[in-house]
Amino acid sequence: MMLRDPRRLLRVSVAPAAALAVAVLSSLSRCSLLEPEDCVISALSPYFGTKTRYEDVNPGLLLDPEAPRRDPELLEETCTPVQLVALIRHGTRYPTAKQIRKLRQLHGLLQARGPGDDKTCAAGSHDLRAALAAWPLGYAEWMDGQLVEKGWQDMRQLALRLASLFPALFSFENYCRLQLITSSKHRCVDSGAAFLQGLWQHYHPGLPPPDIADMECGTPRINDKLMRFFDHCEKLLTEVERNATALYHVEAFKTGPEMQNIVKKVAATLQVPVSNLSADLIQVAFFTCSFDLAIKGVKSPWCDVFDIDDAKVLEYLNDLKQYWKRGYGYTINSRSSCTLFQDIFQHLDKAVEQKQRLSLCQFTKSWPR
């Protein structure tokens, strides 16, 4: 939740304002399909960045994914929520078509080797290469970042947690005052629909949810200018997205010694020429470990290709890209988000003004005449 001053907004002793806004952003998140006692883990998980499973970040989800967890400093007796504005990641998704094509390229390199090509391999390397060659690809281009069933479950459970955590705001009377805004990305639209399904489950326990279009409050509203502001800022597009030199430091790191050592190591493991691999292919192989953990609930052989030192280098590569493309590398990166944050603060300011007017009205009525 993005709150400018949580204490100021929550520590008020008036009835909650009738306003609730929830926004769905297009970014990547992961969750496990497994029960807590069967949880499959990987030592690489802390280094997957935005491709980390929810449960790896918040282990409490393994115990009860629908149970809310409140900050002990926010005591119910002294804090009254006025408004909730949330920026919510979409649920677990498939790899994108671009990632799947790169993974198929890696798979093709493994499949291209004949059975007699492994004579010079060390035993361990041969076993791992054979396991990778036999491991099914499991992803097709039509999947292209779509929400998986676990992603729908992620969002339904998040809605249940928020509704339990803020019962006054999520009362049935406030249901149709909720504003759900999403980008046009299908995984975000579906995440919004799943969130509404979760609220339906909260209000109508035991009843199957109807189609989103048939629910009382309708479908999420699509607003790409607000939710995908980075696609609509011409200065950002010119100075960063379309600028061939904007990610110079990222490209330099890809060809630097740290990444090239990993490329050579993976080439030896796969028994393919170093020239057939690139930093981009290596990064996809690394993230495939995360995809398989999140979507299939299994630890694939791709997890065994890398060790912790490799993971730290690959994590840095991803962080470096985000720093220059979305983070503090260029001033326009943060300024491009002003439209979204202005919208958030306007909603919060309006809620505070409504609360103050209500308090003044109540004070005036109670003042002796």
User: pLDDT at position 116, please?
Assistant: 47
User: pLDDT at position 216, please?
Assistant: 78
Based on the residue annotation, tell me whether 126 is a catalytic residue of this protein.
no
Q: Which of 90, 126, 186, 249 is catalytic?
A: 90
pTM over 0.85: no
User: pLDDT at position 235, please?
Assistant: 94
Residues of the chain with pLDDT under 70: 1-40, 72, 74-77, 113-125, 359-369
User: pLDDT at position 14, please?
Assistant: 32
Alpha-carbon distance of 158 to 167, in angstroms, equals 14
User: pLDDT at position 118, please?
Assistant: 52
According to DSSP, the residues that pair with 21 across neighbouring strands are 85, 179
User: pLDDT at position 303, please?
Assistant: 93
Helix locations, the chain, DSSP H: 6-10, 54-57, 60-63, 97-112, 123-134, 149-165, 186-203, 224-227, 234-236, 248-254, 257-270, 279-291, 308-325, 331-335, 338-366
Q: Which of 77, 135, 73 lies closest to 106, judged by CA?
A: 135
DSSP 57: H
pLDDT in tens, 15-73: 333 334 444 433 333 333 344 444 567 889 899 988 888 888 888 888 888 888 777 67
Distances (CA, A) of 265 to 175, 295, 301: 55, 27, 15
User: pLDDT at position 30, please?
Assistant: 35
Distances (CA, A) of 71 to 54, 60, 148: 18, 14, 30
The DSSP bridge pattern shows strands 221-222 and 84-89 to be unpaired
Transcribe 222-239 into DSSP letters.
E-HHHHTGGGS-HHHIII
Give the SS3 label for residue 35: coil
Give the list of residues 6+ apart from residue 292 with CB closer than 8 angstroms, or none: 138, 298, 299, 300, 302, 303
